[in-house]
Structure formats: C-alpha cells, structure tokens
Amino acid sequence: MGKKINQINIESYKKGKLLELLEKTQDKRRYHNLYLLSCYFSQDSARKLINEIYDDVYLREVLIYVDRKTAVSIGEGDLYRFCESFEDVSVKLHAVDANCLFHSKAYALISFDENNKIYCGSLVIGSANLTGQGLTNRSGNIESLLDTQDSTMLSQFIKQIGGLRIIPIEDLEKYRNSQEYNFKYALLQEGAFIHKWMGNLGQYLSVRYQLNENGRRRIGDDSFRQAGFNIEAATISKMYFNFDYEPPHLGGANNLTRNYGIETYLGYWMPTSAIEKMSKKTEYEKFRSELKNQIAIQMDKIKVSIEGDLSLLRSENIIQESDVNPVDSFKNKVEELLADDLKLSRIFSKYEIFSLPYDIKQNEEIEELYKEMVSLSESRKRKNVTMKAFLAAIDNTSLDKFRYLIAESMK
C-alpha cells in the first residue's frame, strides 16, 4: 500500500468530514478500535463523535488520550461517569503525562486480525481538538485534516501510543492537592527556564586548528594572538565571519524577565506563554535571511583568509594535518547552523530556553526547586505577575488559575 496523504481545510461540517475520512477503509464485517487523541477534550463533542461512528461501524473499544492538565481540570468523577455512560462499547480515557503539553490531534479507526496485526484502518491528523470549536460545532475554527490509510503509518501510530506515559484516572486527584508531589511537578511544567546566552556567531563559526607537539611548545608565543588566534590548551581558533547585530526584542525580553521571571539556580523560570513573546517570528526570519546574505558576501574573503592562515601554520610546522579542509569545515558549520532552527534561534534571541530538566521520578530535585520558587515568591515585597499567579495556583490548587492570571496579564 503506497504512502498517500490527503489534506483539506474546513470550517463547517468538520465532524462529518472526519467521519468520512475515518470510514474510508472500514470493513463492515469486522470490529474496529477507535482512537481519539487530543490536547483538549469536550465530553459532549466526544459523545457525538463516538455515537455517530457507532451507528456505522462495529466498535470493540474506544481509547481516548488527552493532556493530563485537561483531565485534571475535568476531574476523576466526571471522567468515570463519561466512560461508564456508554452501554454497548468499552470507552477508556487516558491522561497523558508529558514533560510538555500533549498537543496531539489524531483520530484513527483500526481493525486488527486474529494475530493482533493491523488488518485495515484510517488515520486522520490535523489541527482540530476534540471540542465543539475544534470539531463538532458547525461553525468555529478553520481546521486542517490529513488522512492516510498506509499500513506502515498506522503501525507507527500504534507504536507511538504504546510509548506514552499514562496516568490512571484514579490518580488524577493527586494533582488537585497542592501538597501532593504530582501537583508540584505539574505546576513547574507550566513554564520553562531561560538564561542569557553569551556566545556569538563569530565564535560558533570559528575555525579550530589542532596543534602538534611543536605547536604546543610554542603556546605562549604572542605571535598567535597578534595574528588574531584564540589560544587554548592544545588548539588555536580564529573567527573569520563578522556579523554584528542587536536583536530588536532584547529590551522587551529584559522587561519580560523582570515582570514574569522567578530567578532560580537553573535560570529564570517563566510561563511558556511569556517566553513565546520574547521574539517574533518575522524578526527571526529577517535575521536568518540577513545572515545568509552576509555569509554569501563574505565567503570569498573568508576562504582566502583561511587558506592564507593554513599555509602559514603549515610552514611553521605547528598544526596537525586534518582529513577535513578548514574551508570545508567552515562551510559545513554554516550549513548545519542554517538547518538547525534551535541553535539559530538561540543565537538570535541571545537567550537559551530549556524545559524542566527533571522527570517525574526525580523527587528530591523537584521538591528542592519547588520550595525555592515558593520561598522566592513569598519573600518579595513587590511580587511580579508570575509570582502572584504561582502562589494563587497553590492557594487554589489550580493550574487553570495560574494560566488564567498569566493570560489576563498579557491582554
């Protein structure tokens, strides 16, 4: 079966179109499993979708996967009642515990053979959450859906589901008590850490030469520095590319750090939504375009400079020969950087951003960080937005309270 993927953009009748895509390859003689993966979840929307599919397809089991925060906000009791309200089909709901937001929107109808191998099925992915606005209302968001019936993709989908970390519904209440470890962990995952990145493009794209024994003996020779080389223990390096710029968002980023940051030993902890405002996509694209332009303008001069230095260093017999020509090494670094949005955005923003570096099993580290953030927030006479929202979330044992206060402050 070929890997065929189709895409549509729709605003109204999304549920009907989804049903049509899911039932493309159904075998009316066989039982199927229905998989519903969504960040956000409406019981009413899920019920409408399940009932309409049940009218057309033999369903053995319905498996729903939603983000942990969504499941917590609905509550254990309501989720149990929802699952048990279906009399003729087994409905199971799973809360996905991810280090970041579980943002999948995927829907699949799959039939398995007697050996539990995929017999047929259809997978639909896109932008639509399992909510009224996303899927079941006749009007609302404009959504994109892609569908495939390729058996390899269906198998990969099932395998990925098997790798998700799941919280049983009965354990969700642990996230409703502010003294419970799981609530603390979930609250910390509402943000990420930033700290200023002091590197620059010239340093990142510098060319490094490995010294031989003769070169290491001459490491204190001031002629290296006079020639523009940086001296290290067994290497020397030189920056050949010049591109000075001042990120236009830096002033705003400093204000965001002051208004939304909680300073910890890992860096400033900030709500994810605040971090997203640190730089605009259009500014980043301008930077990337100008960088490519400057590299093209300077490339011939850089090549001549590298070849001149290489000739001099060889004549002095102070470097080891390398399998890669330094000019090619520079070009490779440029290509790798332009292809790596994560590294390039860090250079552009002048900040390094990273998620909580501890998983849920690292109790000691999580508790220590949580206590530090509570102490810092409580001790400040003039609390910033995040400190107030952080403490309010604890007082109300509510992640939604934290999100609401942060969102309100940004309007």
Q: What is the pLDDT of residues 81-119, one digit of tens each?
A: 999 999 889 999 998 877 566 788 899 999 998 888 999
The pLDDT, as a whole number, for residue 183 is 85
* pLDDT band at 191; cut points 50, 70, 90: very high
Q: Is the pLDDT of residue 311 over 90?
A: yes
Backbone angles phi, psi at 194, to 5 degrees: -135, 150
Q: Is the pLDDT of residue 244 over 80?
A: no
For the question of whether the overall pTM of this predicted structure is more than 0.85, the answer is no
* pLDDT band at 2; cut points 50, 70, 90: very low
The pLDDT, as a whole number, for residue 10 is 46
Sheet with 207-210, side-by-side order of all strands: 207-210, 235-238, 230-231
Domains of the chain: 6-174 (3.30.870.10), 199-244+277-349 (no CATH)
Mean pLDDT computed over 212-226 = 85
CA–CA distance, 28 with 25 (Å, rounded to integer) = 9
Residue pointed to by tokens 């953030």: 373
Strand partners, 207: 238
Is the four-CA dihedral 51, 117, 152, 103 of positive or negative sign?
positive
Q: What is the pLDDT of residues 387-403, one digit of tens each?
A: 999 999 998 888 888 98
Q: Which residue would you say has higher pLDDT here, 228 or 303?
A: 303
In 3D space, the residue among 191, 178, 192, 193 whose CA is nearest the CA of residue 72 turns out to be: 178
Q: Which residue would you say has higher pLDDT here, 134 or 155?
A: 155
The pLDDT, as a whole number, for residue 126 is 83
Mean pLDDT computed over 338-366 = 82
In the chain, what percentage of residues exceed pLDDT 70? 88
Report the chain's C-alpha Rg in angstroms. Answer: 28
Highest mean pLDDT among 176-185, 213-222, 229-238, 373-382 belongs to 373-382
Least trusted range by pLDDT, from 63-67, 92-96, 218-222, 244-248: 244-248
Q: What is the pLDDT of residues 254-290, one digit of tens each?
A: 677 888 999 999 989 999 888 877 656 677 788 888 8
CA–CA distance, 411 with 405 (Å, rounded to integer) = 10
